[in-house]
Structure 1
Amino acid sequence: MTSAAPTAPARPRLWTPSRVLVTRSAAALPHGRRILERLESAGVRDVELLSGDRLPNLRGDGDRAAFMAAKQTLAVVVGAPSKRRLQPIPPSADWRFDLAEGCPAHCQYCYLAGSLTGPPITRVFADLDDVLASLDGYVGRGGVTSGTVERGGEGTTFEASCYTDPLAIEHVTGGLARAITHVGTHDWSGPVQLRATTKFDDVAGLLDLPHHGRTRLRFSVNAALVARRFEGATASVPARLAALGTVARAGYPVGLTIAPIMPVEDWRAGYGELLDAVGAVLPDGADLTVECITHRFTPNSKATLTDWYPRTRLEMDEDLRVQKRGKFGAVKHVYPKPVMGELRSWFAGAIAERLPEAQLLYWT
């Protein structure tokens, strides 16, 4: 019996902005000019070079109209001076630096809804070269990975996807590739690791970079039911897993960010199938980590998300949750202790059984 020819992989899902705004200072910087060249190559026509460094009013004629317009807008700006002072980002990494803020995807649980203010445009920072040059001063000074017993082997870690999905915009910015190349080729005073996570699959431009094993590319994944319902305008989970296998074969350390974990109908079967699918795409000897993040929301994020997605079926019922307060008093609504315990116990066992070589970094 003759086997069927292999199915060609689907073309990666690419987001192309409908409108681009470029501030005067951003256009003058090398990375800003590189972004303009990429935008031209991508066929983006509506590119406005501003006469100053202030963005115009993007609020539109109504909340919904503003939201939809903002989601199709890319702004190329220079980061505020405060962004040069890196902040710790537990439990992920020692430090975070931002390639961009905002994301073109339509995840109905988006945590950026409670973190960023104003219309949700995607702001890309043109001063990336200066930011990368400043990282030397942070090596060996972190408290999340570097110097710790549990994760010291990771070295000083830098998270590049705290407020964005860098792969979603990579084809029009090139920022992730530039960061990977810098981290991979720079002469550091100690071990370092760049970390980035994504829900997209356009990894072709990253495969031949001189990463030297210093970048861990993680893929944010979920059970099929959750992904289908709540993760709009992203690559499918099978496409993300195919990309995971591809970058692992290119020598990258890789990771799973299983988030947000939800006890949806038949969740054990759904997440079990996900873990089995991961095991099927990974090459032997892949360096794999796993991060598990349960669903939570804040009063502000709930209000924003219900404005953005008024027909969402996402469960955000305070009566089904308990309050968790941060060190500054901020309230999050999380699953009750029995639910959290059941989820955590199952995932710990399932990951150990299905992905025995993986390292579970944290549960939250």
Structure 2
Amino acid sequence: MSTPRRTRLWVPKHVVVTRSAAELPHTAGILARCEAAGVDDVEFLRSDRLTGLRGADERATYARAKSTLAVVVSPPSARKLQPIPPSADWRVDLARGCPAHCQYCYLAGSLGGPPVTRVYADLDTILAGTDAYVGTGAVTSGTEARGHEGTTFEASCYTDPLGIEHVTGSLAAAVTHVGTHDFGGPVQLRATTKFGAVEPLLDLPHHGRTRIRASVNADVVADRFEGGTDPVAVRLAGLGALARAGYPVGLTIAPIMPVDGWRERYTALLADAAAELDGVPGLDLTVECITHRFTPGSKEVLEGWYPRTKLEMDPERRSRKHGRFGAVKYVYPAAEMAEMRTWFTAALTDLLPAGRLLYWT
């Protein structure tokens, strides 16, 4: 498969730096990267409170927030790691927020205020804090199915770290730390992305301790609902480059939707992935399958952000599922879920036999 043309990297129009973040060394690197990218609107705030993000209405607020990078210190809650099943033992946040415009955005309803991208300047502190969690956790640590992964840390729960890497450098720093640090046991950093600019990662001393996954979808879903991201072909090309550089890699097929012709469309996706990864020596490939779901809160937020969206979010066509603390989410009906799961399990075996299916949800 030939390497396709890459889309333009996101460059923030505005950068704001909080008072506490301005004092940290990682901030200097971020600002140097932003300057090199051509950003000339940088504001140093007098406090740690983000201001000036709201516009005249919801649409204007959304547009300004999505074009802003805020350099901040992580809140204490972000440094107290939380389990993140079924992906990993623990969630470790390098940033919070994403510059893309996915109409099903997983962050809608879970992040308060305007959707600005916040990158954490206290990266050294965040990474050092992972030592205390090694050997703990219940998703991979000590389990029969995934214990070989060691203690796993998911870095893309609240951001796409590769999508902002060129202006933050945070993902490369995390990969290097995990690859070279003397932990008290086996560990793995995990990150998933809808972008393909992997060049800064290829020569890092990762030592096989970081698994990068490409978040991919059928063409009609990606083209229609994943604005501001790289084309799926670009993401797959990036994944192939990482695999050839010795990284463990993965596919995050999400959010799976039973669109018209879904079997043929997802067949094409799996075939493209297989072609890109064909011949990679020692390929270590996982697959995660996540179906589309939404909550009452995320539906309200998304319809405010994307008032003309064609994304199906009809509660009457879905089943209600209760999560932790009684939270409601809407998923596909059981029969439809079972049909898709059966099909994907068989299709992966036939088209991508090297891939290990970690979970279906």
Same fold (TM over 0.5): yes
Aligned Cα root-mean-square deviation (Å): 1.1
- 1:214–1:8 distance in 2 versus 1, CA, 3 Å: closer
Q: Distance in 2 between matches of 1:362 and 1:261?
A: 13
Cross-structure match for 2:11: 16
Cross-structure match for 2:26: 31
Cross-structure match for 1:148: 143
Residue 185, structure 1, aligned to residue 180, structure 2: yes
- 1:54–1:90 distance in 2 versus 1, CA, 3 Å: same
Cross-structure match for 2:60: 65
Cross-structure match for 1:361: 358
What is the TM-score with the length of structure 1 in the denominator? 0.97
Q: Distance in 1 between matches of 2:45 and 2:257?
A: 44
Equivalent residues of 1:13, 1:234 under 8 A apart: no
Q: Distance in 2 between matches of 1:353 and 1:10?
A: 29
- 1:321–1:9 distance in 2 versus 1, CA, 3 Å: closer
Q: Distance in 2 between matches of 1:218 and 1:294?
A: 17
Equivalent residues of 1:13, 1:201 under 8 A apart: no
Aligned residues: 359
Deviations 1:275-299 (A, max 9, x none): 0000001124310000000000000
Deviations 1:6-26 (A, max 9, x none): 977424530000101001111
User: Superposed, which structure 2 residues align to 1:1-364 within 5 Å?
Assistant: 9-282=4-277, 283-364=280-361
Q: Distance in 2 between matches of 1:48 and 1:164?
A: 23
Identity of aligned residues (%): 68
Deviation at 1:311, TM superposition (A): 0.7
Q: Distance in 2 between matches of 1:210 and 1:118?
A: 37
Q: Distance in 2 between matches of 1:123 and 1:117?
A: 12
Equivalent residues of 1:105, 1:234 under 8 A apart: yes
Mean CA deviation greater in 179-188 or 79-88: 79-88
Deviations 1:85-113 (A, max 9, x none): 10000000000111111100000000100
Q: Distance in 1 between matches of 2:223 and 2:310?
A: 12
Q: Distance in 2 between matches of 1:183 and 1:127?
A: 16
- 1:48–1:57 distance in 2 versus 1, CA, 3 Å: closer
Secondary structure, in 3 states, of the residue corresponding to 1:123? strand
Deviation at 1:82, TM superposition (A): 2.1
Gaps of 5+ in 1: 1-5
Equivalent residues of 1:67, 1:308 under 8 A apart: yes
Deviation at 1:60, TM superposition (A): 1.2
Equivalent residues of 2:178, 2:210 under 8 A apart: yes
Secondary structure, in 3 states, of the residue corresponding to 1:328? helix
Equivalent residues of 2:6, 2:230 under 8 A apart: no
- 1:196–1:8 distance in 2 versus 1, CA, 3 Å: closer
Deviation at 1:58, TM superposition (A): 1.6
Gaps of 5+ in 2: none
Q: Distance in 2 between matches of 1:70 and 1:322?
A: 33
